[in-house]
Structure 1
Amino acid sequence: MGYKVAVVGATGNVGHEMLNILAERKFPADEVVALASRRSQGKEVSFGDKTLKVKALENYDFSDTDIALMSAGGSVAEEWAPKIAAQGCVVIDNSSKFRMDPDVPLVVPEVNAEAIAGYTKKNIIANPNCSTAQMVVALKPLHEKATIKRVVVSTYQSVSGAGKAAMDELFTQTRAIYVNDPIVKEQLTKQIAFNVIPHIDVFMEDGDTKEEWKMMAETKKMLDPKIKLTATCVRVPVFVGHSEAVNIEFENPISDDEARDILREAPGILVVDKREDEGYVTPVECVGDYATFISRIRVDPTVENGLNLWCVSDNLRKGAALNAIQIAEVLCSDYLKKA
């Protein structure tokens, strides 16, 4: 007997990836339902070799649904996640709405799968921010070996992290430059074509953006509250795939060779680290892959026990859809077992 799964926000970028990954990984579902707002009702979406007709979230009865994978934004999650959870359906939410709620587990399965057990408090599990998810997969095994004191991270985040409209904006601006049309910006704060923008999410009082704060707060919640982290988050003209330059300071000695060996054995990671031309991974090469790729591992001689590394992953997958489905897999195997 399998599970009944609803994908809320099925017409968006992440919703499409959720449906793709459910099919690819042969998730043990007897039925998968695609849900979105009323304006998308009746649209068709792909699920493996099947086509699903989108149903309206507002009219849907979740009482016989086991898991709802939500990727419909914070306001929708705020309104609907508690309602869905109250009907006995476990919500795995991709928005930021519940991440810092102490009664809601924030989970990356390679990092803190045991936290899933806390889902019973509200029947909600939170997916972390895309930039945090790939980073903590790399930090976890290194922290276990040498204990991380401080992290300085600069991100190079693709426009897909801002949604399909931002991807369209990169395309149209790039085309406009080539044909000498005016550059129109609507989704992002500055021109994104042939440019980088050091601004993701809203600014906070201390000068950080909300995206930078999320990386700090979520790392502390999932990995270790003692870790100090500072981030600079940058939007770059890449369609899919987030990259990060990560500087790590440890309490105990660790060499680059040790780090490389540890990361090679760690779940969810592929190390591609040759000190030669093309001996590293870029965003274009990670698209469609499940792994978090680590390259450019080297000692930082300017601090005691310091390392640098380069971290790349498909943000629509590990940063969102894949992570949510990995959570659902653990939920099914360990907590919602069916005969």
Structure 2
Amino acid sequence: MSSNNASASSKSLRVAVVGATGAVGREMVKVLHDRNFPVAELGLFASERSAGKVQETPYGALTLQAFDAAVVKGYDVVLLAVSGDFAKAHAKDLASAGALVIDNSSAFRYDADIPLIVPEINAHVFREAYAAGSRLIANPNCTTAIAVVALGPLHKAFGIKRAIVSTYQATSGAGAEGMAELEEQTRNQLDGKPVTNSVFRHPIPFNLIPQIDAFQENGYTKEEMKVTWETRKIMEVPDLLVSCTAVRIPTYRAHSEAITLETIQPVTPDAARAVLADAAGVKVVDDPANGAYPMPLNATGQYDVEVGRIRTNVVFGDHGLDLFVCGDQLLKGAALNAVQIAELAL
């Protein structure tokens, strides 16, 4: 069930996108336009080397500006598509000036006093914090955002005791550079030329890499632990049992996830489908006999998260579900979610 766009009658706002030349920043601009966000003025900010260049957008050709905190403080909404270090250096200062700052990095996701928001799941947390004066909001990890859109309504209906997640993550998770490396090195592979890698730890064409981010002391990667930590915070279940294995795959866009759930209450596939069919941001694609199930090819460019392959888990029986989820990492996993958060303040 798709979410509504911003109201056309909302007050127009000055909006800044910082990191506007990257894959996520460009998508933020497109989503603002597509969802009719009430933009009175759009400022695109990037590095010094990009300043003065013209970037084509749905709002016309706009000139990129070098980031200047004093200038950006004058905007009503600031969307950050930047590194964690950059966010740590500037986000709190921008928010203290009164701007609503939505940060796509991991810099503040685990701070107890900073909301981590997926609007379909915990919009109430944003509204309470915003009413109390909070202006800095964290956007979740792409994998987590896609997963919780499906897990949230299932938890509300049946209770989730534990979740095991295996991800198949597109090269878009590493930004425009990751997608470019996939394309360039696939050409090299097919042309019989040397295949090199700089973005990924190993060559990505025709390969799977079971490592995303650095390994932790417990043997999980940081990406995998982000799914555990962030799912608990967003769903407000601090002791939820979540285990994740994250794998990079040679696709452009849209992350896929195989999820196994043990539920507190009994659950059937039909009952789960009914709940998901009524859930905001979810599209049930579940007709395996006719080849209809979530796939990156179909989820790319779509706002909704596709959910299918819904079936009883043979290990957990009537308290278990298996499902397959696909969502666009650059949209629900990043840009769309950020704009949806901004819409909550309208």
Shorter-chain TM band: over 0.9
Q: Deviations over 1:40-85 (max 9, x none)?
A: 1112223314111111113652343111000011111111112211
Instruction: Kindly provide the amino acid, as one letter, of the partner of residue 45 in structure 2.
Output: L
Aligned-pair identity (%): 44
Find 1:246's aligned residue among 259, 272, 284: 259
Counterpart secondary structure, 1:163: helix
Q: Equivalences for 1:303-318 in 2 at 5 Å?
A: 303-304=316-317, 305-318=319-332
Find 1:261's aligned residue among 251, 271, 274: 274
Please tell me whether residue 144 in structure 1 is matched to residue 159 in structure 2.
no
Is contact 1:104-1:121 (8 Å) kept? no
Instruction: Kindly provide the amino acid, as one letter, of the partner of residue 39 in structure 1.
Output: R
Is contact 1:37-1:58 (8 Å) kept? no
1:159 alignment counterpart = 171
Instruction: Kindly provide the amino acid, as one letter, of the partner of residue 292 in structure 1.
Output: V
Find 2:345's aligned residue among 307, 328, 331: 331
In 1, the alpha carbon distance for the partners of 2:268 and 2:206 equals 37
Please tell me whether residue 118 in structure 1 is matched to residue 129 in structure 2.
yes
In 1, the alpha carbon distance for the partners of 2:163 and 2:133 equals 32
Q: Equivalences for 1:75-94 in 2 at 5 Å?
A: 75-94=85-104
Q: Give the TM-score normalised by structure 2.
A: 0.93
Counterpart secondary structure, 2:161: strand
Counterpart secondary structure, 2:72: coil
Task: Give 1:126 shift.
Answer: 0.3
How many aligned residue pairs are there?
Answer: 332
Task: Give 1:122 shift.
Answer: 5.0
1:281 alignment counterpart = 294
Q: Deviations over 1:212-248 (max 9, x none)?
A: 0000000000102231000000000000010000000
- Check 1:172–1:63 CA distance in 2 against 1; reply closer, same or farther (3 A cut): closer
Find 1:96's aligned residue among 79, 94, 106: 106
Please tell me whether residue 222 in structure 1 is matched to residue 234 in structure 2.
yes
Q: Deviations over 1:74-102 (max 9, x none)?
A: 11111111221122112100000000011
What 5-or-longer segments of structure 2 have no aligned partner? 1-10
> 4+ residue runs of structure 1 moved beyond 3 angstroms?
119-122
Please tell me whether residue 292 in structure 1 is matched to residue 305 in structure 2.
yes
Counterpart secondary structure, 1:101: coil
Please tell me whether residue 53 in structure 1 is matched to residue 76 in structure 2.
no
Instruction: Kindly provide the amino acid, as one letter, of the partner of residue 200 in structure 1.
Output: I
Is contact 1:23-1:47 (8 Å) kept? no
Counterpart secondary structure, 1:276: helix
2:7 alignment counterpart = none
Counterpart secondary structure, 2:288: coil
Instruction: Kindly provide the amino acid, as one letter, of the partner of residue 341 in structure 2.
Output: I
Counterpart secondary structure, 1:125: strand
In 2, the alpha carbon distance for the partners of 1:4 and 1:206 equals 44
CA RMSD of aligned residues (A): 1.2
Instruction: Kindly provide the amino acid, as one letter, of the partner of residue 217 in structure 2.
Output: E
- Check 1:63–1:328 CA distance in 2 against 1; reply closer, same or farther (3 A cut): same
2:30 alignment counterpart = 20
What 5-or-longer segments of structure 1 have no aligned partner? 333-339
1:321 alignment counterpart = 335
In 1, the alpha carbon distance for the partners of 2:331 and 2:60 equals 21
Task: Give 1:148 shift.
Answer: 0.2
Q: Give the TM-score normalised by structure 1.
A: 0.95
Task: Give 1:38 shift.
Answer: 1.1
2:3 alignment counterpart = none
Instruction: Kindly provide the amino acid, as one letter, of the partner of residue 273 in structure 2.
Output: R
Is contact 1:5-1:31 (8 Å) kept? yes
Please tell me whether residue 210 in structure 1 is matched to residue 210 in structure 2.
no
Instruction: Kindly provide the amino acid, as one letter, of the partner of residue 316 in structure 1.
Output: L
In 2, the alpha carbon distance for the partners of 1:188 and 1:57 equals 28
Please tell me whether residue 181 in structure 1 is matched to residue 230 in structure 2.
no
- Check 1:59–1:142 CA distance in 2 against 1; reply closer, same or farther (3 A cut): closer
In 2, the alpha carbon distance for the partners of 1:121 and 1:149 equals 34
In 2, the alpha carbon distance for the partners of 1:258 and 1:244 equals 21
In 2, the alpha carbon distance for the partners of 1:265 and 1:59 equals 42
2:42 alignment counterpart = 32
Is contact 1:295-1:311 (8 Å) kept? yes
